[in-house]
Amino acid sequence: MRRNYILLLALLICLPWFSGEYYVNLASQILIAAIFAASLNLLVGYAGLTSLGHASYLGLSAYISAWLSLRMGLGHAVTAPAALLLTTLIGCGFGWIALRASGLGFLMLTLALSQIVWGLCYRWVGVTNGDNGLSGLTRPSPFGIDLGNSSAFYWFVLIITVAALYSIARFVNSPFGATLRGTRDQWRRMSSLGYNVWGIRWVTFVFSSFLGALAGLLYVYFNKYIHPSVMSVTVSAEALLAVIAGGSGTLAGPVVGAALVMLLKNYASAYVERWNMLMGIVFVFIVIVMPAGIVPGTLALLRRLRGGPR
Amino acid sequence: MTAAMTPALEVRGLCKSYGGIAVTQNVSLTVAPGERRLIIGPNGAGKTTLFGLIQGEIKPDAGTIRVLGHDVTRQPVPERARVGMARTYQIINLFTRDTLAHNVVLSLMGLMPLKRNAFTALAARTDLYDKAAALLASVGLSHRAQHRISEISYGEQRRVEIALALAQEPKLLLLDEPFAGLSQDERLIIKELIASIPSETAIVMIEHDMDIALDFAEQITVLHYGQLIVEGDRNKVVNDPMTREIYLGH
């Protein structure tokens, strides 16, 4: 398994040498979407808390970094940590509110909070420039490397993706990760065993919003432009779809799911006009054939083909 | 009062009502350290509500609860585990997707600072899994340690419930109908298992079936419509006309 991951990573590192710029940019977008979906998966898959407002953190971090650099004239060395920090702090507050409930109540609260932020972005024209969005942004150049170059940017995103996924893997396999899954499966039992269920969920919510903010930062670097639509419920729902289609509660699932959504959106739309319908059909097919998601479904299929125990 | 004399559980004037229905009415009881206490009563007597109040899942309207000398009346549920209380559930709620060993490890970690560690691999803590295996052996399930909960029988799940509670070495153990839904053979296994619990652990057991539970009890409390009707040792309670009337029905 580990050998496969290293092979895949080697392949991804080499990608810019054998593919055109279009595909390198598409790959960058897939990686950003993968970080975003993986961060949402911490809540959906590992905490059992389905959020429909995760786009807030992506958008907030993008907007904060854009605003600080455009209006305050600050450099990337300041805007990036500031955007991550402020968005994570907002995540602390939003988590505190949304975790008053679980299940459907949690979903509705996350949706409501994200709609507030989205509405604010549209209407608070003085700060966000409303429907026109914020443009004229730049990419950072760490250690003098110009990330304006699409290959360089791709490698930059790849490094951050690997770091983010590695930290998620460490997190979910740690003792804390085990207690998190415990609160998902039997929260009453966890409470009577001496665990602070609320605290465990809140810490996870904050970590998840931090990683969402990280994806937002990369998103705004990639596009060099930000529009309120990035905060819309569609973006949250697409990430949720990626998590569920790929396999929630697995490490690779959201990455595969995000790749699928991105490919359908960017690639299939060039050939099929009604690509939204195509996406719908694909997801209905996945849910019927592999209800647990592509990654667990494929693994189960492989085990069956090899004749092993199911 | 010396430490040895501090009751394991001291409930004073506990009341709880839902709407107009009083499910717990001014209940007071004291359980000595290491005591075996049986709480019986017909359906709807308020036994499980009383457990919920003691454990903290239900908030009382009035009264106080002290566990090993600590006033836990306003403490949240996890705080009570830290004080030394554990419970089993009438309706089994284990981590069905995980192995028996992992279930016990979750219980062990509940009282350890390790539970806040989000950086190191839990699987590397073989000492914890060894300890879990030893605990599973003590309930006769060492051969099942690597099975998932969903793969073992109902009777075995009952034993895991008890293993989880014992893993925290509680000073006060609440057993909520540990014999419910078991066959005669399985009942005997559980009965022996409960008899083997260290004598420093005070046990409060709710049980519907008097036949199996009577042997266990030193002290018996009879509840009826939320009220404490009779309390005393086995002979006193069994021969009390009130018990015969409300519980045994003759």
Same domain, B195 and B156: no
Lowest mean pLDDT among A5-9, A105-109, A145-149, B158-162: A145-149
Whether the per-residue pLDDT at A244 is higher than 50: the answer is yes
Other C-beta atoms lying within 10 Å of the C-beta of residue A289: 10
Dihedral in degrees, nearest 10, Cα atoms A121, A126, A131, A134: -90
Same domain, B69 and B136: no
In a domain? residue A116: yes
In a domain? residue A94: yes
Give me the domain span that covers residue B229.
1-84+170-250
A chain contacts of residue B93, beta-carbon cutoff 8 Å:
186, 188-189
Return the closest-CA partner of residue B234 out of B221, B213, B220, B248.
Answer: B220
In a domain? residue A16: no
Whether the per-residue pLDDT at A34 is higher than 70: the answer is yes
**Domain end (from B124, B147, B168):** B168
ipTM (interface pTM): 0.89
Return the closest-CA partner of residue B9 out of B58, B63, B45.
Answer: B63
Angle formed at CA B176 by CA B134 and CA B152, multiple of 5 degrees: 45
In a domain? residue B238: yes
Return the closest-CA partner of residue A151 out of A258, A14, A263.
Answer: A14
Looking at the DSSP bridge assignments, the partners of residue B17 are B22
The residues of chain B scoring below 70 in pLDDT are 1-4, 247-250
More confident residue, A3 or A270: A3
What's the rounded Cα separation, in Å, for the pair A152 and A41? 28
Q: What is the pLDDT of residue A43?
A: 96
Hey, is the C-beta of A225 within 8 angstroms of any chain B C-beta? no
In a domain? residue A79: yes
What's the rounded Cα separation, in Å, for the pair A195 and A214? 29
In a domain? residue A217: yes
Give me the domain span that covers residue A155.
21-230
Q: What is the pLDDT of residue A65?
A: 95
Q: How many domains does chain A have?
A: 1
Q: Do A189 and B89 touch (CB under 8 A)?
A: yes
Same domain, B42 and B18: yes
Each residue of A85-107: pLDDT tens digit?
999 999 999 999 999 998 899 99
The answer to whether B234 and B217 have CB atoms below 8 angstroms apart is yes
Whether the per-residue pLDDT at A211 is higher than 90: the answer is yes
pLDDT band at residue A308 under the 50/70/90 scheme: low
Q: CATH number, domain at B42?
A: 3.40.50.300
In a domain? residue A243: no
Q: How many domains does chain B have?
A: 2
Same domain, B201 and B79: yes
Same domain, B119 and B239: no
The answer to whether B9 and B54 have CB atoms below 8 angstroms apart is yes
Q: Do A179 and B117 touch (CB under 8 A)?
A: no
**Domain end (from B168, B197, B228):** B168
Whether the per-residue pLDDT at A19 is higher than 80: the answer is yes
Same domain, B162 and B182: no
What's the rounded Cα separation, in Å, for the pair B64 and B28? 9
Interface test with B, best of A171, A180, A193, A203 (most B CBs within 10 A): A193
Looking at the DSSP bridge assignments, the partners of residue B173 are B86, B203
What's the rounded Cα separation, in Å, for the pair A167 and B143? 35
Q: Do B81 and A194 touch (CB under 8 A)?
A: yes
More confident residue, A284 or A308: A284
Q: What is the pLDDT of residue A45?
A: 94
Hey, is the C-beta of B83 within 8 angstroms of any chain A C-beta? no
What's the rounded Cα separation, in Å, for the pair A10 and A6? 6
A chain contacts of residue B118, beta-carbon cutoff 8 Å:
170-171, 174-177, 203
Q: How, if at all, do strands B219-224 and B227-233 pair? A: antiparallel
**Domain end (from B151, B168, B185):** B168
A chain contacts of residue B87, beta-carbon cutoff 8 Å:
192
In a domain? residue A266: no
Q: Do B115 and A176 touch (CB under 8 A)?
A: yes
Each residue of A38-87: pLDDT tens digit?
999 999 999 999 999 999 999 999 999 999 998 888 888 899 999 999 99
pLDDT band at residue A287 under the 50/70/90 scheme: confident
Same domain, B14 and B73: yes
In a domain? residue A1: no
Comparing alpha-carbon positions, the chain B residue that sits nearest to A177 is B118
